[in-house]
Amino acid sequence: MSKLSKISRRTVLRGAGAALALPWLDAMSLPSAQGALTGQAPLRMAFFYVPNGVNMSHWRPADTGPLGELPRILQPLEAVKKQILVLSNLAADHCDGKSAAHEPAGGGFLIGKKCKHSEEPEVGNASVDQVVASHIGTETLVDSLALGIDPGHRGDHGYSGTYMSHISWRNKTTPAALELNPKLLYERLFRGKPPQRPDWSAPPAERATPSSNSVEESVLDLVRDETKSLQRKLGYTDRNKLEQYLEGLRSIEKRVATAGRDSHSHHQEAFAKDPTADADEPGIDKLIIPEGKGIPSLYADHVNLMLDILTIAFQTDATRVASFMFSYEKSGRSYPQIEAPGSHHSTSHHQQQEKNLEEIAKINTHHMELFARMLSRMSQIDEGNGKNLLDNVLICYGSGISDGNKHNHDDLPILLAGGGGGLLQGGRHIKYEKKTPICNLYLDMMHRMGVASESFGDSQERLRDLGI
């Protein structure tokens, strides 16, 4: 670090009505008497949800203890497996509904209590992410993010369809607003209002004219002068960090702009085999396909763009709490691009047929590849004190259903990614006693985020053996 004055963690770059948050820089930390940096990046928490269970025979590591050769679905995590904990035998008994599995599995996943059997949605309490957000959310631009890729549809067996498309709940009756559109997400996080480019040929009072398309007008251009001024005050390492961050943001802006010019999205083809896509029976709601503006034409591009924005949101401390759904529970999405052309939900009722099991494994592996890409990118973002962004996150990945054919809610496919601020001991497969409540994990995560609650959902004890 250079011998320059410390800059505030709250410092932002401003220009012509735009504001740009900064990543963590060494200049945001003060040196101790021994010369070491005393500032520490905050811990962030996220929950990632995959629908319809997984092919467990390709998920579960063969042995407990240190992770050796990873099973097929987890193989994309090889490069970051030292930051992964695979947790077996966790159960969500609260996801066991009356004559239904998918609705209470999605709606209750982060709740720890049963969803009300009703067309009007009501869960047991606020979800774990929102409990944490209510304690620490005032420290960031937005208290939390609830992100997804696909819309949901009407529920069944007397349950609200809202349960299937929302895992994050602000209170018993209000789900967190789900953001599906990268363009809207980007503007929410990185623009306090649409950027304005001044017209220097106009009279002073009329120089600022709103941009016709806030994505097309780069916020980076509008803060360029202040960026140059800041870079002159930074040391070599911080200048490199800032340049890499700005390059990443520029890449995201270009991808968002490209998607914004195309009205087509991947949803049109992906749900062609979903029975609700063309529903015309009384009482069955037709699947709502999102308007394509701002949404990429390929599923993987959509996921990657959303996760890149989430990564920068964590990097800049725009938020410290997030949830993400690869699709809604009971999703009928098809994945022809990975040779899994059938409806995901229908295929998950595999009846031990090899063709169906293979398609499920392909889908599960595809989701994991996208997740692993994000973790790898996090591992490359330096946050000082010898740590990277991946060291400073706590991310739970899993599903409220284990085997889609059995619809069981025990021995769930759950992993914990990240270093937890250096306090997790990763690279292991831990097998707990059967039917250990998954809320034990949530309670532990809450404590690590600074929320010292004595209970959550159906749990009154923290999950053991995760680390310090």
Q: Domain range spanning residue 183?
A: 19-192+214-448
φ, ψ for residue 299, nearest 5 deg: -55, -50
The backbone torsions φ and ψ at residue 59, rounded to the nearest 5 degrees and listed phi first, read -105, -50
Question: Is 9 a domain residue?
Answer: no
Residue 385, Cβ neighbours under 10 Å: how many? 17
Distance between CA atoms of 130 and 322, rounded to whole angstroms?
Answer: 9
Residue written as token pair 């017209």: 199
The answer as to whether 219 is a domain residue is yes
Exposure string (b/e) for 216-248, b if CB count within 10 Å is 16 or more?
ebbbbbbbeeebeebeeebeeebbebbeebbeb
CATH number at residue 372: 3.40.720
Look at residue 454 and tell me if it is in a domain. Answer: no
CA pair distance 314, 75, nearest whole angstrom: 25
Tell the residue number behind the tokens 């997984």, with chain if given.
Answer: 54
Tell me the two tokens of residue 275. 């029975």
Is residue 401 within 8 A of residue 344, CB to CB? The reply is: no
Whether 465 is in a domain gets the answer no
Residue 27 included in any domain: yes
pLDDT string in tens for the chain (468-residue length): 444 456 665 566 655 455 566 777 777 665 544 334 446 789 999 999 999 999 999 999 999 999 999 999 999 999 999 999 999 999 999 998 877 889 999 999 999 999 999 999 999 999 999 999 999 999 888 999 999 999 877 788 889 999 999 999 999 999 999 999 998 898 888 765 433 333 434 454 443 433 434 444 565 665 666 677 777 777 777 777 777 788 788 888 888 888 777 777 788 778 876 655 544 444 444 566 666 677 888 999 999 999 999 998 998 888 999 999 999 999 999 999 999 999 999 999 999 999 999 999 999 999 999 999 999 999 999 888 889 999 999 999 999 999 999 999 999 999 999 999 999 999 999 999 999 999 999 999 999 999 999 999 999 999 999 998
The Cα 250–Cα 322 span in angstroms is 23
Neighbours of 276 (CB within 10 A): 18
Residue 208 counted as domain residue: no
Q: Is residue 466 part of a domain?
A: no
Number of domain units in the chain: 1
Report if residue 223 sits inside a domain. yes
* Chain Cα centroid distance, residue 195: 27
Distance CA 130, CA 23 (A): 24
